[in-house]
Structure 1
């Protein structure tokens, strides 16, 4: 082989290796959804024990109001050096009555996901704005001052 062919093949090999490093990584997170098991939860038939036996323990439970178990599932896609993005998202909410029987099982998806975009790089706080020097030297003289919890003169 001549030198130009070897260089051409080497360039193609380097490009292939570089391109393979830029592929996306898909990561499932949370509850792994099995459509057949989710479909098997029936209102009026199932109770807490049968749902726990079929779907397992929930991702989290409601703390107030109707007793509800939430099964949360997401699939993120991440490219190298970039923050992960949610590609798929689903929440199964199983509601129970006072006796522990299933009242409803509702499934929602990406239509209910809200993307929040913070406004600015700082969090507003109540109170007085202080400069760096005020933070640095603000406690000088406060230590041992009367009424501040230290020992006063005398």
Structure 2
């Protein structure tokens, strides 16, 4: 028979430390799910009825809105978003609900609209440079381009005395 060999205490410590490193390394690759904003309760949202509810009853049912419209207080918005992130990548939305409650001038509910993630505009930059108007100069031209231009003729900072009439006309 083969003799059974027990690891030494230092070997057990190394094995435990290695196991801890593997567990910690694997936990960095897990998906992180987060929720931002309002918790949508379908039953409460469906209970808000146009023509029946007003601002006070909507606030009592749904709570304070995430934000209100900027031009007057005719619309209230409740924003809910679920995000997912893998390890150190940028978080990205997987689900979004924007609940818009519209009010008339008297404060009564006119309509309740829902918008999802399909309404979000995806903006991608054009290349890695921002197009600008003006001269296209390199870094060295930007840094050293004004050397010798200060005080040059026609540049407004000329050397010499005042050759024209002064502010009083003399």
Structure 1, gaps ≥5 residues long: none
Matches within 5 A, 1:1-154: 15-64=22-71, 67-138=74-145, 140-141=149-150, 146=156, 153-154=161-162
Count how many residue pairs are aligned between Structure 1 and Structure 2.
149
CA deviation map 1:105-153 (0-9, x unaligned): 01122222333222212221223323323432455517xx64x8xxx95
In 2, Cα distance between the equivalents of 1:153 and 1:49?
A: 75
- Give the root-mean-square deviation of aligned CA atoms: 3.3
Greater C-alpha radius of gyration = 2
In 2, Cα distance between the equivalents of 1:50 and 1:138?
A: 66
CA deviation map 1:3-33 (0-9, x unaligned): 6xx8999877654443233111111112222
In 2, Cα distance between the equivalents of 1:60 and 1:66?
A: 10
Structure 2, gaps ≥5 residues long: 163-170
In 1, Cα distance between the equivalents of 2:71 and 2:35?
A: 29
In 2, Cα distance between the equivalents of 1:59 and 1:138?
A: 51
Quote how far apart the aligned CAs of 1:48 are. Answer: 1.7
Structure 2 length-normalised TM: 0.69
